[in-house]
A = this chain, B = another copy of it.
């Protein structure tokens, strides 16, 4: 089975998985997404769940990234310690089916007071570096359920910090006293900018969240502005944490476009240029780079 004839790459997370068929030409030939995240796979069920991907996309070699390599996944792929680049990650892939199926390891940063881990994001970062989408030395922001601020040095992941912004926004939206205000999506508009400004200047996030509700009850705030303002508060606090890691005039923001637009707007308010990079494009470049080294 020759990787050069094409392969399958999957980003296999906790609650869902996305898989791509990359052709001999390196282009994307097919893709699929379903709810078979690792938590939905019964014990001993991974070989079948993997075979199911081949049934749907073709009998090709396969590169699996994300939580599939965690201690709750199929086979644990131990974290590669930062600094870590594409070569380090490729060398430490785990092979549940030798020559045929590889699991990409995550990266950990165990130095200092804020140890951190990533699993899945490293593929996009490897791709962004390998494809020249980002400079080899930069501060990179990778929003998602958990935003990652990543410091690249010499094209390798040197240090990083995770901020729970996306997850907190979802918790507030789903179950909190603010839930009825968070029915519509946040946009990079004026209320968003006001939220960012607030968090850049004031360190009172857990109180200001309640003020949103109080203002509305007192007729001093508009419910329709709440999603953007609350998102701005959380992302403003996030940006402040990221820029403390390494002060930069330009930051690369990589991920889904609707999220990178919010972070780019917040960074602009904080005085930074933000350059947006599409996360899916970086992912595909990353899996091609790793597949060449898997062959």
Q: Which positions in A face B, CB cutoff 8 Å?
A: 79, 108, 110, 114-117, 146, 161-165, 167-168, 171-172, 174-177, 203-211, 214-215, 217-218, 220, 234, 237-238, 240-241, 244
Interchain residue pairs with CB less than 8 A apart (20): A110-B220, A114-B211, A114-B214, A115-B214, A115-B220, A116-B210, A117-B218, A146-B210, A162-B211, A164-B177, A164-B207, A167-B176, A167-B177, A168-B206, A171-B175, A171-B176, A203-B203, A204-B244, A205-B206, A206-B241
User: Apart from A116-B214, A162-B211, what are 7 other A-B pairs with CB-CB below 8 Å?
Assistant: A108-B218, A114-B208, A115-B214, A115-B215, A164-B176, A164-B209, A175-B175
**Bound Cα distance from A110 to B218, whole angstroms:** 7
Are the CB atoms of A206 and B177 closer together than 8 Å?
Answer: no
Which of these, B117, B146, B172, B234, contacts A217 with CB under 8 Å? B117
**Complex interface: chain B residues within 8 A of A177 (CB):** 146, 164, 167
Are the CB atoms of A115 and B167 closer together than 8 Å?
Answer: no
**Bound Cα distance from A210 to B241, whole angstroms:** 13
A268 CB, nearest partner CB in chain B, Å: 21
**Complex interface: chain B residues within 8 A of A171 (CB):** 171-172, 175-176
**Complex interface: chain B residues within 8 A of A115 (CB):** 211, 214-215, 218, 220
A231 CB, nearest partner CB in chain B, Å: 13
Are the CB atoms of B163 and A214 closer together than 8 Å?
Answer: no
Are the CB atoms of B207 and A114 closer together than 8 Å?
Answer: yes
A238 — nearest CB in chain B belongs to which residue? B206
A57 CB, nearest partner CB in chain B, Å: 29
Are the CB atoms of B172 and A210 closer together than 8 Å?
Answer: no
Contacts A117-B218, A174-B175 given; does A163 touch B210 at CB 8 Å? yes
A150 CB, nearest partner CB in chain B, Å: 13
Which of these, B164, B207, B234, contacts A210 with CB under 8 Å? B164
**Bound Cα distance from A142 to B177, whole angstroms:** 18
Which of these, B116, B146, B168, B206, contacts A163 with CB under 8 Å? B206
**Bound Cα distance from A214 to B116, whole angstroms:** 5
**Complex interface: chain B residues within 8 A of A162 (CB):** 207, 210-211, 214
**Bound Cα distance from A171 to B172, whole angstroms:** 8
**Complex interface: chain B residues within 8 A of A204 (CB):** 241, 244
